[in-house]
């Protein structure tokens, strides 16, 4: 046992030395790289996991359009969006514009309302552009209110169709795998789905369709490990009952579902953490432990929500933005490796919680010992990817090579995946980082930067708008 400990300590020391050695090379590469080359380098960088990801907000508008207009991918359904109004357009609520429904829902509308809906396949070019833009936060003046009040209601029936839901899941998996991700933990459910005639799918039917889609070669061959969380809307009137149902579901499906999450805008005070303390204690008396990752501290002002969310049993905190305003809890987390803060830089900027990212708490948390990782949150509605998060972090906070590697490792160390798979993912990540270092350590700095010519990075609207990158907007 003593010999094993010595070997492990030696390996850890060598890993640290190796990271430090490449750190100087990384600094030289950063200094010499153009912004586009730095982005390409980070796109090729091996990454750990994306742990904070709302599936409903993760789907790019172009992906949704492609699936909704292709009957071979959407189960033979037809989709309509509300685009043509009898009243003056400025008299129509923003939430009504682009509201999207399935054929069976459309058939139930009155003739007058049907005339305001247009089949996606019959839209004009201008209507299509408007529909696409209606699902992303990309215009001046858009922010938190547009996101919460307009974008989500517009989704309508999109995620009610199981074929659409699972095709969009496949698009996410393929895009993340292309960025070098190893593990994806989505807030994703399969209950409450409906056939084209709106009769409900049973849970067994939905699970069978899900597993069949994940088994197809385009997804399976990516090698990306995928697990799910079930999410409870915490400010709902019946949130305690929903939490109990969700707990039972996850307990019964632990092969795919690994955790409970609670979300919902914190400004709505009805979802305060202590509301659920007795419910969680009752559930823990009934079921073996389930991990909890709960949104907390996504607020403009200090409060005790993070501390009280830890009391619920959470071992991961989503956002944690106002943690610096609670020094006692900050000190607790600085001296404990148990709790990870899931950082979402682009989300926090676009939703105006941290409009000036130079004032974000991320670097203070990172550099005072609080475990953190980078995540995409609602990447489809930001029109962004995980590389955008890394590029934002590197350019705003001067991240070192050791810090970049630690972010990926933290995401896997704190993943809720089963332990044998976690060990494999960590070993694979370490090996990939070593190979990456060796590749870019060879030759001169100019030689290393020339290797980036063989990388085909992908960026979307966020990268185009904010940095002017010329890279293609493709799914993979």
For 362-392, the pLDDT digits (tens) are: 999 999 999 999 999 999 999 999 999 999 9
Region 318-339: mean pLDDT is 96
The fraction of the chain above a pLDDT of 70, given in percent, is 93
Residues 147 and 239 in one domain: no
Residue 6 has pLDDT above 80, yes or no: no
Residues 290, 213 within the same domain: yes
Question: pLDDT at residue 300 above 80?
Answer: yes
Q: What percent of the chain has a predicted confidence (pLDDT) above 90?
A: 88
Q: What is the mean pLDDT of residues 36-41?
A: 98
User: How remote is the C-alpha of 12 from its chain's centroid?
Assistant: 30
Percentage helix, strand, coil for the chain under 3-state DSSP, each rounded to 5 = 55, 10, 35
474 pLDDT above the threshold of 60? no
In a domain, 117, yes or no: yes
Query: What mean pLDDT is predicted for residues 204-225?
Result: 98
Q: Is residue 104 part of a domain?
A: yes
Task: Decide: 326 and 309 in contact? Cβ < 8 Å.
Answer: no
Per-residue pLDDT band at 470 (split at 50, 70, 90): confident
Listed residues 154, 181, 213: the one ending a domain: 154
Residue 30 has pLDDT above 80, yes or no: yes
Mark which of 122, 154, 186 sits at the end of a domain: 154
Q: Is residue 369 part of a domain?
A: yes
Does the residue 445 lie in any domain? no
Identify the domain boundary among 154, 178, 213.
154
Residues 394-431 have pLDDT tens digits of 999 999 999 999 999 999 999 999 999 999 999 999 99
Question: In terms of domains, do 173 and 271 share one?
Answer: yes
Pick the more confident residue, 475 or 126. 126
**Is the pLDDT at 13 greater than 70, yes or no?**
no
What is the chain's mean pLDDT, rounded?
Answer: 93
Q: Do 297 and 341 share a domain, yes or no?
A: yes
DSSP track, 403-427: HHHHHHHHHHHT--S-HHHHHHHHH
Q: Are residues 410 and 342 in the same domain?
A: yes
Q: Are residues 141 and 202 in the same domain?
A: no
- 139 and 207 in a common domain: no
For residue 3, the model assigns a pLDDT of: 35
Q: Which of 230, 162, 153, 165 is nearest to 194 (CA)?
A: 162
Phi and psi for 76 in degrees, rounded to 5? 80, 20
**What pLDDT does 273 receive?**
96
pLDDT at 476 exceeding the cut of 70: no
d(CA 103, CA 179): 36
CA distances for 246 relative to 55, 58, 233, 258, angstroms: 17, 21, 11, 12
Q: How many domains does the chain have?
A: 2
Whether 64 is in a domain gets the answer no
pLDDT tens for 430-447 read 999 999 999 999 999 999
Instruction: Please give the Cα distance from 143 to 230 (Å, whole number).
Output: 26
- Within a domain: 359: yes
In a domain, 222, yes or no: yes
Residue 267's pLDDT band, with cuts at 50, 70 and 90, is confident
Place of tokens 């956002």: 319
pLDDT tens per residue, range 42-62:
999 999 999 999 999 999 999
What pLDDT does residue 5 have? Answer: 35
pLDDT of residue 9: 35
Residues 193 and 316 in one domain: yes
Q: Which domain holds residue 133?
A: 78-154
Give the model confidence (pLDDT) of 58-104 as tens digits: 999 999 999 999 999 999 999 999 998 876 555 566 668 999 999 99
* 193 in the same domain as 105: no
The CATH number of whichever domain residue 353 belongs to comes to 3.20.20.140
- Residues 368 and 401 reside in one and the same domain: yes
One domain for residues 173 and 298: yes
Specify the long-range contacts of residues 129-133, CB closer than 8 Å, at least 24 apart: 130/83, 130/97, 130/98, 131/61, 131/65, 131/81, 131/83, 131/98, 131/100, 132/61, 132/62, 132/65, 133/61
In-domain check, residue 5: no
Q: How does residue 359 score in pLDDT terms, banded at 50, 70 and 90?
A: very high
Question: Does 2 have pLDDT greater than 50?
Answer: no
Same domain, 55 and 84: no
User: Is the separation of the CB atoms in 361 and 343 below 8 Å?
Assistant: no
Chain centre distance of CA 124: 32
pLDDT (mean) for 18-35: 90
Q: Whole-prediction pTM value?
A: 0.93
pLDDT of residue 269: 83
pLDDT surpasses 70 at 7: no
């Amino acid at each position: 046992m003593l010999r094993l400990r010595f070997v492990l300590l030696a390996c850890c020391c060598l890993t640290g030395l190796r990271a430090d050695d490449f750190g100087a090379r990384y600094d030289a590469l950063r200094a010499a790289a153009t912004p586009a080359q730095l982005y390409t380098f980070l796109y090729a960088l091996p990454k750990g996991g994306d742990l904070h990801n709302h599936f409903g907000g993760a789907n790019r508008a172009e992906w949704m359009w492609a699936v909704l207009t292709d009957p071979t991918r959407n189960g033979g359904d037809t989709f309509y969006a509300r685009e043509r109004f009898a009243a003056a357009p400025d008299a129509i609520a923003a939430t009504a514009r682009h509201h999207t429904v399935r054929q069976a829902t459309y058939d139930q509308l009155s003739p007058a309302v049907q005339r305001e809906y247009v089949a996606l396949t019959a839209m004009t070019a201008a209507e299509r552009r408007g529909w696409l833009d209606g699902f992303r936060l990309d215009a001046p003046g858009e922010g938190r209110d547009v996101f919460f009040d307009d974008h989500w209601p517009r989704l309508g029936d999109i995620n009610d169709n199981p074929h659409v839901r699972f095709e969009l899941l496949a698009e996410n998996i393929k895009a993340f795998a292309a960025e070098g991700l190893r593990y994806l933990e989505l807030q994703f459910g399969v209950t409450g789905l409906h056939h084209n005639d709106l009769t409900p799918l049973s849970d067994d039917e939905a699970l069978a369709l899900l597993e069949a889609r994940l088994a197809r070669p385009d997804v399976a061959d990516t090698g990306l490990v995928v697990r799910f969380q079930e999410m409870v809307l915490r400010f709902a009137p019946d949130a305690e009952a929903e939490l109990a149902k969700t707990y039972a579901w996850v307990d019964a499906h632990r092969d795919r579902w690994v955790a409970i999450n609670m979300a919902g805008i914190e400004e709505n005070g009805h979802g305060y953490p202590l509301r659920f303390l007795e419910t969680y204690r009752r559930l823990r008396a009934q079921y073996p432990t389930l991990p909890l990752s709960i949104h907390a501290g996504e607020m403009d002002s200090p409060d005790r929500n993070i501390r009280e969310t830890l009391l619920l049993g959470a071992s991961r905190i989503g956002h944690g933005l106002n943690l610096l305003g609670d020094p006692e809890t900050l000190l607790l987390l600085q001296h404990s490796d148990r709790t990870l803060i899931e950082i979402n830089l682009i989300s926090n900027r676009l939703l105006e919680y941290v409009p000036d990212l130079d004032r974000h708490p991320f670097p203070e948390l990172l550099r005072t010992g609080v475990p953190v990782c980078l995540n995409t949150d609602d990447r489809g509605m930001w029109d962004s990817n995980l590389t955008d998060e890394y590029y934002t972090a590197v350019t705003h906070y001067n991240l070192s090579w050791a810090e970049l590697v630690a972010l990926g490792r933290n995401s896997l160390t704190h993943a809720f995946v089963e332990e044998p798979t976690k060990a494999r993912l960590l070993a694979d990540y370490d090996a990939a980082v070593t190979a990456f270092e060796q590749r870019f350590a060879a030759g001169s700095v100019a030689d290393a930067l020339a290797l980036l010519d063989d990388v085909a990075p992908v960026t979307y609207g966020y990268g185009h708008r904010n940095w002017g990158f010329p890279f293609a907007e493709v799914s993979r």
